[in-house]
Each structure stands twice: as C-alpha cells, then as structure tokens.
C-alpha cells in the first residue's frame, strides 16, 4: 500500500514537471513567432528553472577590436568581441518602432543597482511614471547600468526578463539581470559601443 502511494506521488510530480516544461516550450515558441528570441532558461524534468542567461560564445567575423561591444538591433543581440574570431553573444531588448537608433558611443559611467529618473518626454508619453525611483529589484534598470556617451540611453538590466528579444524600450538596451551583471564585470568605462 505504501509503495502504491509513493509511486502515485512520484507520477504526479513527474506529470506536473512535464506540464511546466511544455508550458515553457510554448512560451519560448510564442516569443520566437512574435519576433523575439527565447531566453536560454534551462528546464529539468520537474520544471525547476536554471539561470536567467542568454550568454553564448559564438564565432564572430567582424573587424572590431577585442573588448568592443556591438549591438545588432535587427538581430536583437549584443556581442562582446573577444578576438580570435569569437565573441560573447547576449540577447537584448531594443527600442520599439520610432525609438531605434544607430551610432557609436563609449561607456561613460557604470552603476550597480542604479536609480532611475525618467526624462520629461517619457513621463509625458507614459502617465503615472515617477519623477525618480531608487535602485533596487523593482527598478526598471535592473541590477546594473552602463551609460552611453552623453545620450539618455543605457545598456541595463531588467525586472521584466520576458521582454528580452523584443522591441519594447524607448531606445535603451535591456538584458536579463544575470547577463547584465556578467557584461558589467567584463567591460570598463571607455569601452566602445557600436549600435547597428
């Protein structure tokens, strides 16, 4: 009798894990079909998630110097050039239609758990935004931010990781908090950032 109860409980746990796995695959499929790239979240049989990272080492044929960041807006990918024909590739959220841009800047500042002061034009577009928000887990800039030149734009983390691979921002580049912390640790103030 005890063996039957244990077997039934094990079967239920396995079934629930399989349902979570199928739901995760459906969510990723929806993101791909809607123009986004799925996050590289690792799922196991019981549905427990792994890290929230999209980072992958890839072959890279560009001519930029090692240490340069290249953001391909159309691909919704950020590349940290390593040299030797390789780069670290990360998924990013990019500006929505009308808010994309191209150019070359340098990282002029880096901040951990940055505060956020939405510009006046953003507050005029989006009702209810605060004039200022302290850094922390609820802050839209996430765990880290790297400021680009004298622009209002940043490469930053996000408390909405489901937007990675989407075109939803006002021109900034969003990354998962895991990814932005990794990139932040690899680059310095002065790093060249090329946006295509």
Contact by Cβ (8 Å): 111, 122: no
User: Any idea what DSSP says for residue 157?
Assistant: -
Could you give the angle at the alpha carbon of 57 between the alpha carbons of 161 and 68, nearest 5°? 85
Catalytic residue among 63, 105, 132, 156: 156
Lookup result for tokens 């150019």 = 103
**172 classed as catalytic:** yes
Contact by Cβ (8 Å): 78, 90: yes
Which tokens go with 86? 């390789």
**156 classed as catalytic:** yes
Chain centre to alpha carbon of residue 153: 15
Lookup result for tokens 């919704």 = 76
Helix (H, G, I), strand (E, B), or coil: what is residue 71? strand
Closest of 195, 167, 163, 33 to residue 97, by C-alpha: 167
Catalytic residue among 63, 105, 132, 172: 172
- Compute the chain's Rg from CA coordinates: 20
Alpha carbons 100 and 84: distance in angstroms, whole number: 30
Q: Which residues are catalytic?
A: 156, 172
């Amino acid at each position: 009798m005890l063996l039957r109860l244990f077997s039934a409980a094990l079967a239920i746990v396995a079934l629930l894990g399989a349902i979570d796995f199928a739901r995760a695959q459906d969510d990723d499929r929806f993101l791909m079909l809607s123009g986004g790239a799925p996050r590289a979240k690792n799922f196991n049989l019981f549905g427990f998630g792994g890290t929230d990272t999209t980072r992958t080492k890839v072959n890279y044929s560009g001519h930029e110097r090692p240490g340069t960041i290249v953001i391909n807006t159309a691909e919704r990918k950020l590349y940290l050039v390593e040299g030797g024909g390789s780069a670290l590739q990360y998924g990013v959220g990019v500006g929505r239609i009308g808010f994309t841009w191209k150019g070359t800047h340098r990282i002029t500042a880096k901040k951990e758990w940055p505060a956020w002061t939405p510009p006046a034009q953003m507050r005029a577009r989006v009702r209810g935004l605060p004039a200022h928000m302290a850094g922390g887990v609820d802050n839209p800039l996430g765990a880290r931010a790297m400021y680009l030149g004298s622009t209002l734009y940043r490469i930053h983390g996000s408390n909405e990781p489901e937007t990675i691979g989407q075109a939803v921002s006002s021109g900034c580049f969003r990354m998962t908090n895991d990814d932005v912390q990794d990139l932040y640790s690899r680059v310095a103030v002065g790093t060249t950032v090329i946006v295509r």
